[in-house]
A and B are shown apart, each in its own frame.
Chain A
Amino acid sequence: MPVAASLGTSARQSPDAFFNDLHGAYRQAEEAGGGTVERFFRVGGHVLRLQFAGGSLVEPLSAAFAHLACEPVARPALSVRLFDSASTATPPPRAPWTPSDVREGGVVEAWSDARFHTVLQITVGLLTMLDRQRRLALCWVRRAEDLPMPERAAPLRRLVHGWMAEHGQLLVHGGAVGFADGGVLLAGQEGAGKSTSALACLLSPLLYASDDYCLLHMGPKLSVNSLYSTGKTHPSDLARLPFLAPMVTNRTALGGEKALYLLHRHVPHKITAGFPLRAVLMPRPTGGRETLLRPASSGAMLRALAPSTVLLLPQTAKQTLSDLADLARRVPLYELSLGTDPTGIPATIIDLLAGLGVGASKASSATPDVSIR
């Protein structure tokens, strides 16, 4: 029974001790759930192993990574062990923190340091805890059925953010489309048209890396790495992009949430693992028919990309903001004034990339390239 009480009033437990207790609960869940289901993915060039206690979390928390599936390896860069309480009848250990320990972004402050990264998403009912030293993370979910659509579209993103930062890759709030030899990042706040722009490109020779979150590798050569092969739109956008209708996975829930697409199941040939980054575009709906490009300022790019990216992991905000300012200085920046004709969006992007010497051979194909399974 729920009780209106403070969290964890008992003596404070160290991150290491709590991690061990949580791992013990995972082991119990493995037995109760009838064994382990393993999945391997190559994320930003590093192998991620997901180990599920039982089967209830496999679909909701791994389907978005399907395009990155790879062969098993003996020593993955990170193993994540996941369990839920509802299907395994295994409770998590007693929570050792108080509500005031849970800070912006769900980070549990006193249980996060150079070694551990602990995030509690209260309304989702999901905890992730990363132990960088052991290259091991744990994920607890109260009940698989309660995972909301945004979590299924972009699972474990706060954990991935903490992990990939070690590898010089920044989780950014942006879409990405392009060719193997170069592409663009689509930056903008909620409602700017990132998803519509990225998904409209499925009807073109452009490849799809993301509509909402992707990894930015800030090396000598900037590149984008895909993370999720999902897409989301408002149900009303299906009128403009009717080819998406057969791909909707949450048809019965459309009254209360966005339509979710598991694109890898329908258009696997259109999904890419990534490409060199050549420009950043800021979509903006205009109501006009034509899609147009015009140069944008570095400030406009930071306003479009930085706040929502920085707030994903406030603890690294200063470095993240500095990295994004660096990005703004290194690539051309444009406002993408979106026309009502969706075919104009990929055409405009292809023209831009051609001008940058990218994708010339692919762009010559004028045939719409979406065959849906």
Chain B
Amino acid sequence: MRSQARFRVNAPGVVAEAVDDEVIIINLHTGTYYSLSQAGAAVWESLEAGTTLGDAIGSVQGHYQEEPAVIAKALEDFVVELEAERLIVPGAEDDTADRAGDARPVPPLVAPHPVADQPLREFVAPRLEPYIDMKNLIQLDPVLAVDERGWPVTERR
């Protein structure tokens, strides 16, 4: 586990906003957008705030009815998805020392701490589900040919 790893939002090509318990993420390069809720939203907000991955996972574990190791594995996988979609990138303070090849089991750096007076919720492993209905808005017009003054030629010409 990359417990000391930090990440940042892959700005300026990616923007995100949290409202209520949901985070909306938009990739401006692809037009794809994403909605995160519950544990996924919580991890995103922690990482965006500069928290290490281990602490982000630890802060989530105390809210859910599930074995900490199960939660940690699910959230690590989720963070890998976020990276694969280029929504987050390693932050400046990323501790690369425990990155590649380090397959130690999880133990969270912050011990799970149940939140007083709040019932534990059922844990659902977060998944990154892309909405792709905006892609046609963002696709760059292809430049197939240009005229003698360097201007793109439109199809109807």
A366 CB within 8 Å of chain B: no
B29-66: contact bitstring with A at CB < 8 Å (1 yes, 0 no)? 10101010100000000000000000000000000000
Contact across chains for B143 and A99 when beta carbons are under 8 A apart:
yes
**B143 to chain A: which residues have CB within 8 Å?**
7, 99, 102, 122
Of B22, B35, B140, B147, which is in contact with the most chain A CB atoms at under 10 Å from its CB? B147
Stretch from B10-18, B102-110, B113-121 that touches the partner: B10-18
Choose among A106, A123, A317 the residue that contacts B15 (Cβ–Cβ < 8 A): A317
B134 CB within 8 Å of chain A: yes
Stretch from B76-84, B87-95, B148-156 that touches the partner: B148-156
B100 CB within 8 Å of chain A: no
A306-339: contact bitstring with B at CB < 8 Å (1 yes, 0 no)? 1110110010011001101100110000000000
A114 CB within 8 Å of chain B: no
- Separation of A317 and B25 alpha carbons in the complex (Å): 11
B114-150: contact bitstring with A at CB < 8 Å (1 yes, 0 no)? 0000000000000000010110011011111111111
A86-104: contact bitstring with B at CB < 8 Å (1 yes, 0 no)? 0000011111100100111
Number of interface residues of A (CB under 8 A): 53
B24 CB within 8 Å of chain A: yes
Contact across chains for B20 and A299 when beta carbons are under 8 A apart:
yes
What residue of chain B has the Cβ atom nearest to residue A126's Cβ? B154
Q: What's the nearest-Cβ distance from chain A to residue B136, in Å?
A: 8
Near B by CB (< 8 A), chain A positions 102-152 give 102-106, 120-125, 142-143, 145-146
Contact across chains for B140 and A102 when beta carbons are under 8 A apart:
yes
Contact across chains for A91 and B37 when beta carbons are under 8 A apart:
no
Contact across chains for B33 and A307 when beta carbons are under 8 A apart:
yes
- Separation of A187 and B20 alpha carbons in the complex (Å): 19
A17 CB within 8 Å of chain B: no
A144-175: contact bitstring with B at CB < 8 Å (1 yes, 0 no)? 01100000000000000000000000000000
**B33 to chain A: which residues have CB within 8 Å?**
303, 306-307
What residue of chain B has the Cβ atom nearest to residue A93's Cβ? B149
Contact across chains for B150 and A104 when beta carbons are under 8 A apart:
no
Q: What's the nearest-Cβ distance from chain B to residue A278, in Å?
A: 19
- Separation of A308 and B26 alpha carbons in the complex (Å): 10
What residue of chain A has the Cβ atom nearest to residue B141's Cβ? A122
A1 CB within 8 Å of chain B: yes
- Separation of A307 and B138 alpha carbons in the complex (Å): 10
Contact across chains for A94 and B149 when beta carbons are under 8 A apart:
yes
What residue of chain B has the Cβ atom nearest to residue A140's Cβ? B151
Q: What's the nearest-Cβ distance from chain B to residue A12, in Å?
A: 12
B19 CB within 8 Å of chain A: yes
What residue of chain B has the Cβ atom nearest to residue A320's Cβ? B15
A360 CB within 8 Å of chain B: no
A371 CB within 8 Å of chain B: no
Known: A105-B138, A123-B155. A299 touches B24 (CB 8 A): yes
**B22 to chain A: which residues have CB within 8 Å?**
297-299, 302
Question: What are 27 of the A-B contact pairs (CB < 8 Å)?
Answer: A2-B147, A3-B146, A4-B144, A5-B146, A8-B150, A9-B150, A95-B146, A96-B150, A104-B138, A104-B140, A105-B138, A121-B141, A123-B141, A123-B155, A124-B154, A143-B157, A146-B157, A299-B21, A299-B24, A303-B33, A308-B134, A310-B15, A311-B137, A311-B138, A317-B12, A325-B18, A325-B19
Known: A102-B140, A311-B134. 19 other contacts (CB 8 A): A4-B145, A5-B150, A7-B150, A7-B152, A94-B150, A95-B149, A105-B138, A122-B154, A190-B133, A298-B19, A298-B20, A299-B24, A299-B37, A303-B33, A307-B134, A310-B15, A311-B31, A321-B15, A324-B17
B residues within 8 Å of A by Cβ? 11-12, 15-22, 24, 26, 28-29, 31, 33, 35, 37, 131, 133-134, 137-138, 140-157
Sorted from nearest, which 3 A-B pairs have the closest CB atoms? Answer: A299-B22, A122-B141, A298-B19
